[in-house]
Structure 1
Amino acid sequence: MLKILSGVVVLALLSFPALAQDAAVKPVHALAMHGAPKYAADFKHLDYVNPNAPKGGTFRQHVIGTFDSLNPHIIKGAPGAGSSLVNETLLEQSADEPFSEYGLIAETIEVPEDRSWVIFNLRPQAKWHDGQQITADDVVWSFNTLTTEGAPFYKAYYHNVKTVEALSPTRVKFTFDMAGNRELPLIVGQLPILPKHYWTAEGRKFGESSLTPPLGSGPYKYGTVKPGELIELVRVQDWWAKDLPINVGRYNFDKLTYEYYRDANVALEAFLGGQYDFRQENTAKTWATAYDAPVVKSGQVKKEEVHHTLPQGAQGFIFNLRRPIFQDISVRRAISYAFDFEWSNKQFAHDAYTRTRSYFSNSDMEAKGQPSAAELAILDPFRDQLLPGVLAEEFNPRKTDGSGNNRDMLAGANELLNKSGYVMGKDGVRVHSITGQRLEFEFIDNNPAFERWIAPFIQNLKKLGIKATYRTVDDAQYQNRMNNFDFDMTVMVYPQSSSPGNEQREFWGSDRAEMPGSRNYIGIKDPVVDALIEKIVAAQTREELIVLCSSLDRVLQWGYYMVPNWYLSAWRIAYWDKFEKPAIAPTYGMGVTDTWWAKDAK
């Protein structure tokens, strides 16, 4: 067989015990993080689809910003929308279970009880859009290429994969450097599988951004592409996987289009004018005031608020701890006191939002109340390394009365700054009493909608003698600056799934803090956080996972790494009345692009 080590192919012999172990594992059609998958091996289709949905029609969407690449797997360039519908993975996650995956490119999966390795048996009929078969060699090449030339996320996410081996043209084995990590076989199943023969052809370089539509194997392929303006995806009529149970009733539109706009107001007017079909509204004020249009009143455009129970993670104005002024937690606390959420929520969002207080908002993993006995058992060994408050009480951002008079909050901030050595000068400027350094910083963002939230925040900071400025940059510049941690503060969303795991390393891991392109934008380097992440990765039961995530949540909360923003446990959607949808909605997603269908398709 072939053993792949850091991209180098070497010969290796399987030992007889290993052969016996592999043979003793029964192939299965699906895997669940905890417990058993919902759907049996003989299932016909997912519960949240219409298996008889007609094919046809066009579904038009919009994107704010621009794009200059069709390769979403590297850090270079701004990738275009829709790539996940062109590429496929070994397994496909269902949207009505916390975390279960079913065979897609892989027909069956073999995994031992301790989950120390996983074997995928590929479907012989799985093919690229050019007709060539998808092989284990493609899987091996994809893994090695993504973890060496792809975005740093892949190296972090698959950190525990020790070797990947092509056992035969349709059989591939991943061996892990640890046992007991229940998530590893599932996240390996999420690996995008790329065509080796396409990417290794002469003249192609995987690490370079390109607008040449790449070869895929998914339900759609690229049609018309206008750089920075439009991406069109065309349904593959003879898609090899269209009749698999996991895909029955899905991917019903003949065409999907993504039209790009630079201005959000122009995009909304275009929608109300019928230039595209569907939008998810993320701005509360716009949702409350801007849809008072004839097409909405007449019912031509449907406006719905769809409530859900999905974890909302965390959103906030994050600090870049690489900046010396933010390395003092008292300074971070003081700055957070200057954000009057209650007043801003009333003024800008019609009181629609809930304040973020947790990194696992709207979930059973959110740390609430005083630490439980189970949490204390986890955190007590780190007692000497924990910040005040972690073991004692519930964390909550300080509140105002919403009147706009947050004098008490600013007084508390002033006291914290004075203790940190930043005193108010005679000219109303906050400077360090020893170094004379002025306390000043810059917000950057690529979304002008946040300016109205940040402007009053800046005014409150000015009352404290802190000079803060706000600058909107274009998408490409913003992405480049974030990749290189070239910012003081910005708005950041940290999404969380219902089964957190390896991605926590990428968010908060110390070894990611100085890795360009990683998602540890804050720059957290905390051995306690690192230890808790590894415990989360190795959690064996759902109950254990919940307690560990709550423990991590407490440590992050009390670190004051961000000024918490807000969340809404609902999707606000508007769409032209041209579509139909299944009677049952998926529990963990909207299911719009892949489960709806066009009325005129009939």
Structure 2
Amino acid sequence: MAMHGTPKYGPGFKHFDYVNPNAPKGGEMKMAEIGGWDSLNPFIVKGEAPNAADLPFETLMVSSADEAFSEYGLIAESVEVPADRSWVVFNLRPKARWHDGKPITADDVVFSFEILKAKGHPRYRFYYAAVDKVERLAERRVRFSFKPGDNRELPLIIGQLPILPKHYWQGRDFATTTLEPPLGSGPYKVAGFETQRSITYERVKDYWGADLAVRRGEHNFDRLRYDSYRDTTVALEAFKAGEYDWRLENEAKKWATAYEDWSGLKDKRGRKQAFANQRPAGMQGYAFNLRRSLFADVRVRRALGLAFDFEWTNKTLFYSQYKRTASYFANSELASTGLPSPLELKVLEPLRDKVPPEVFTTEFRPPATQGDGNIRPNLRAAMKLLEEAGWQVVDGKLVDGSGKPFSFEILLVQPAWERITLPFARNLSRLGIEASVRTVDTAQYKNRIDHYDFDMVVHVWGQSQSPGNEQLGFWGSESADEPGGQNLAGIKNPAVDALVEQVISAPDRETLVARTRALDRVLLWNHYVIPQWHLGLDRLVWWDKFAMPEITPANGVQPMTWWMKP
């Protein structure tokens, strides 16, 4: 089933194009994660789950990595859906089994939906808000009915539903953290762990879905191990010493300089390669907490954006590797460019009095500099905006009409961000603004983020090639005050709400692209974040003990399609 149009893979397909269907099974891949964890339940807001904690669990359907948004049956053997997509029926595979051997039934599907909405992470309540009811029709047949409205994405959203075992969770508190590995049905299960140190997943030898077309050529390692590191620098040195095998490098400086002394490259026992992807980069930026009155005025937010010198940062700290982000859907056709098209204007015109006028007249471009460290022109423009908003400099400090100084905290979770953020704070100090930079451990950071106890943070809103209902959680007014939600900025904007609904109800791909671009413009011109950068590459280093398929799909490298060399 495709969101729009026809799926790439037709009836009877044998495997996805980007896998090796004959990949041998065996061996172990060791990886790393930064920060600790204290729970094996990845579906709730409490606690911190380890990397890949969802591996033991399967969904009704699964997406391919080389299409905008198509899904194929996994636990579901077949799907019934009417032309208007007002309901969907899933017929479950008779051979689908839990790891204890019991069959997966419609009762499990109903239970999963209800428990995730009632006690799961808040994102599930928003994601499934348009579901009217779920009904068990037979032992392996279940129906979801949707509330009135044009929402073609809903059958695919339900296809992503993680299915949990009703019989296992009876008598257990789903909303509480646990170190007992929950029962699953997926290709891996937890084999052993030491909290705050490591976790190992073991391939299920008699996994019921191994021969399905959607799983052939995937999950080839017998074991996957993730070691926990508190510090990114320590993790890098551990990799170079051979403590783990495979690393996705997210830091430009490390990519440029940190592997020059790696013995793996010198003696050709290791590899370092960047793989291009067509995956939407989304938005990474310094996010304002609009719940703070300090950031209520858009002129203030715009002024602070002028103090961030991307060009200098990119040249001095990143070896000129990055592109400046100018869209919430960067690196994709969904990103807005130029002025609104006729299709965009169709949804923007009714909102003209509710959105910034620049949406209609000016292409959004983040403030730029020459990259030489001279940011005085930007700071002069910033000061003009701040004065218009009622701020003035007194004795070197920016104060409001009552004399209260402009001060706030930039909260970080990794020390690596300090070398990027401290120069930004110094630029702000030239405006009379006191911006303190504070780095905390992962547990404290998560707790503060979940309860919106911050002024500004670095945040990434990831995007897919087919945006839809998840946008409610990102920007919707109802999600702004939900603990643990994804509307980190606290946006409550009726125009944004209306545009999100338009994106969700888009009847075809062309309309979806246009409506997404319209939403993008309104988000950008409200200056909810200070945009940072994106790359469009997966930068990988690994010990040369693995092989990979010849094709890299549009969504980027898929490590679960790799295999151990003989």
TM-score normalised according to structure 1 size: 0.93
> Are residue 539 (structure 1) and residue 506 (structure 2) matched?
yes
> Are residue 365 (structure 1) and residue 331 (structure 2) matched?
no
Q: Which residue of 1 aligns with 2:552?
A: 585
> Are residue 333 (structure 1) and residue 271 (structure 2) matched?
no
| Separation (CA, whole Å) in 2 of partners of 1:221 and 1:329 | 49
User: Contact 1:330–1:416 at 8 Å: present in 2 too?
Assistant: yes
Q: Which residue of 1 aligns with 2:562?
A: 596
* Aligned match for 1:351, one of 312, 320, 343: 320
User: Contact 2:538–2:556 at 8 Å: present in 1 too?
Assistant: no
Letter in 1 for 2:134: V
- The alpha carbon displacement at 1:590 in A equals 1.2
Structure 1: 4+ residue segments shifted above 3 A: none
* Aligned match for 1:163, one of 105, 130, 133: 133
Q: Which residue of 1 aligns with 2:409?
A: 442
- Structure 1, unaligned runs of 5 or more: 1-30
Q: Which residue of 2 aligns with 1:570?
A: 537
User: 2:338 is paired with a residue of what secondary structure?
Assistant: coil
| Separation (CA, whole Å) in 2 of partners of 1:181 and 1:421 | 44
- The alpha carbon displacement at 1:80 in A equals 1.1
User: Contact 2:278–2:556 at 8 Å: present in 1 too?
Assistant: no
User: Contact 1:114–1:179 at 8 Å: present in 2 too?
Assistant: no
> Are residue 285 (structure 1) and residue 253 (structure 2) matched?
yes
Q: Which residue of 1 aligns with 2:492?
A: 525
User: 1:418 is paired with a residue of what secondary structure?
Assistant: helix
User: 1:193 is paired with a residue of what secondary structure?
Assistant: coil
> Are residue 297 (structure 1) and residue 266 (structure 2) matched?
yes
> Are residue 221 (structure 1) and residue 183 (structure 2) matched?
no
1:303-322 maps to which residues of 2 (within 5 A)? 303-322=272-291
1:495-510 maps to which residues of 2 (within 5 A)? 495-510=462-477
> Are residue 64 (structure 1) and residue 64 (structure 2) matched?
no
| Separation (CA, whole Å) in 1 of partners of 2:46 and 2:125 | 16
Question: CA deviation digits over 1:86-124, x for unaligned, max 9?
Answer: 000000111111111111000000000000000000011
| Separation (CA, whole Å) in 2 of partners of 1:129 and 1:377 | 52
- The alpha carbon displacement at 1:179 in A equals 4.5
- The alpha carbon displacement at 1:459 in A equals 0.5
- The alpha carbon displacement at 1:82 in A equals 1.4
User: 1:260 is paired with a residue of what secondary structure?
Assistant: strand
Letter in 2 for 1:260: S
| Separation (CA, whole Å) in 2 of partners of 1:537 and 1:70 | 33
- Structure 2, unaligned runs of 5 or more: none
User: Contact 1:98–1:588 at 8 Å: present in 2 too?
Assistant: no
| Separation (CA, whole Å) in 2 of partners of 1:259 and 1:485 | 29
User: Contact 1:224–1:231 at 8 Å: present in 2 too?
Assistant: yes
> Are residue 53 (structure 1) and residue 23 (structure 2) matched?
yes
| Separation (CA, whole Å) in 2 of partners of 1:442 and 1:82 | 32
User: Contact 2:545–2:564 at 8 Å: present in 1 too?
Assistant: yes
Question: CA deviation digits over 1:421-450, x for unaligned, max 9?
Answer: 110002x111102x2211000010111111
| Separation (CA, whole Å) in 2 of partners of 1:49 and 1:309 | 18
User: 1:32 is paired with a residue of what secondary structure?
Assistant: coil
User: Contact 1:410–1:464 at 8 Å: present in 2 too?
Assistant: yes
Range with bigger deviation, 296-305 or 504-513 = 296-305
Letter in 2 for 1:456: P
| Separation (CA, whole Å) in 2 of partners of 1:496 and 1:184 | 17
| Separation (CA, whole Å) in 1 of partners of 2:43 and 2:250 | 26
Q: Which residue of 2 aligns with 1:423?
A: 392
| Separation (CA, whole Å) in 2 of partners of 1:582 and 1:404 | 44
> Are residue 205 (structure 1) and residue 173 (structure 2) matched?
yes
User: Contact 1:218–1:239 at 8 Å: present in 2 too?
Assistant: yes
User: Contact 1:334–1:412 at 8 Å: present in 2 too?
Assistant: yes
User: 1:391 is paired with a residue of what secondary structure?
Assistant: helix
- The alpha carbon displacement at 1:586 in A equals 2.2
User: Contact 2:451–2:483 at 8 Å: present in 1 too?
Assistant: yes
Instruction: State percent identity of aligned pairs.
Output: 52
- The alpha carbon displacement at 1:84 in A equals 2.2
User: Contact 2:275–2:556 at 8 Å: present in 1 too?
Assistant: no
- The alpha carbon displacement at 1:36 in A equals 1.1
- The alpha carbon displacement at 1:296 in A equals 1.2
Letter in 2 for 1:291: Y
- The alpha carbon displacement at 1:591 in A equals 1.1
User: Contact 1:314–1:495 at 8 Å: present in 2 too?
Assistant: yes
Letter in 2 for 1:598: M
> Are residue 384 (structure 1) and residue 353 (structure 2) matched?
yes
Q: Which residue of 1 aligns with 2:452?
A: 485
User: 1:85 is paired with a residue of what secondary structure?
Assistant: coil
- The alpha carbon displacement at 1:276 in A equals 0.5
> Are residue 173 (structure 1) and residue 143 (structure 2) matched?
yes
| Separation (CA, whole Å) in 2 of partners of 1:170 and 1:251 | 26
User: 2:361 is paired with a residue of what secondary structure?
Assistant: coil
Range with bigger deviation, 548-557 or 388-397 = 388-397
Question: CA deviation digits over 1:251-290, x for unaligned, max 9?
Answer: 1100000000001111111111111000000000010000
Q: Which residue of 2 aligns with 1:13?
A: none
> Are residue 414 (structure 1) and residue 383 (structure 2) matched?
yes
Question: CA deviation digits over 1:342-393, x for unaligned, max 9?
Answer: 0011111001111111101011111111111221221111111111301111
User: Contact 1:115–1:179 at 8 Å: present in 2 too?
Assistant: no
User: Contact 1:440–1:467 at 8 Å: present in 2 too?
Assistant: yes
- RMSD over aligned CA atoms reads 0.9
| Separation (CA, whole Å) in 2 of partners of 1:554 and 1:385 | 13
User: 2:317 is paired with a residue of what secondary structure?
Assistant: helix
User: Contact 2:327–2:520 at 8 Å: present in 1 too?
Assistant: yes
